[in-house]
Amino acid sequence: MKTYILFGPPGAGKGTHAGAIAEKYNLRHISTGALLREEIAAGSELGKQAKALIDAGELVPDAVVEGMIENAFDTVKGVDGFLLDGFPRNLQQAADLDAILAKRGEAVTAVVALMIPDEMIYTRIQGRALIEGRADDASDEVISNRIKTYHTQTEPLIEYYSKAGKYHEVECTRPTIEENRANVLALVDSIA
């Protein structure tokens, strides 16, 4: 099984491009953010606990998202691998993912990082807020806390995966989704 990590700051387009990548390479797209939002919508205990953290722009506990990832690894069949979107998001999660995969005799295949500058994060997320209505997209304060969380907790993964020779980056700053998608798919083609 292949394990690709779709990486990048909030609003870079991970969710926007994941479907095309997953389809082309027969991968199951797993978005920890989307799974958490499903728990919230279902009104589960887990969802209730996660909601306050998500709405504040903080990360939910590692064990919560890691449980979701292991559950997917255990149950999903009939694909050539996984496209992890929004996981791992800190160094502990990255180390835990390595351990989870090692137990299964597997390893991270590659990291595909979608990059945009901080200023663009605001405009992208404000645009998305009008369409998707996500609570954590609604206020500048929460967006800026998510950007801070990204820089302090998630960005160190760039060095972690670069050292492992697995880090690949593509700029996603073009004005249209199609142009960015073409660049993303070209990058994945070059490493797949």
Would you tell me which residues interact with ligand ADP (CB under 6 A)?
10-11, 14, 31-33, 36, 53-54, 57-60, 65, 86-87, 89, 93, 136, 146
d(CA 144, CA 142): 5
**78 vs 155, which CB is nearer to ligand ADP?**
155
**Smallest separation (angstroms) from ligand ADP to the CB of 158:** 16
**Smallest separation (angstroms) from ligand ADP to the CB of 104:** 19
8 Å CB contact between 183 and 170: yes
8 Å CB contact between 114 and 12: yes
**118 vs 189, which CB is nearer to ligand ADP?**
118
**130 vs 190, which CB is nearer to ligand ADP?**
130
d(CA 60, CA 124): 23
**105 vs 131, which CB is nearer to ligand ADP?**
131
What single-letter DSSP state applies at residue 56?
T
What angle separates helix 156-163 from helix 91-103, to the nearest 10 degrees? 40
8 Å CB contact between 95 and 122: no
**Smallest separation (angstroms) from ligand ADP to the CB of 147:** 9
**Smallest separation (angstroms) from ligand ADP to the CB of 163:** 21
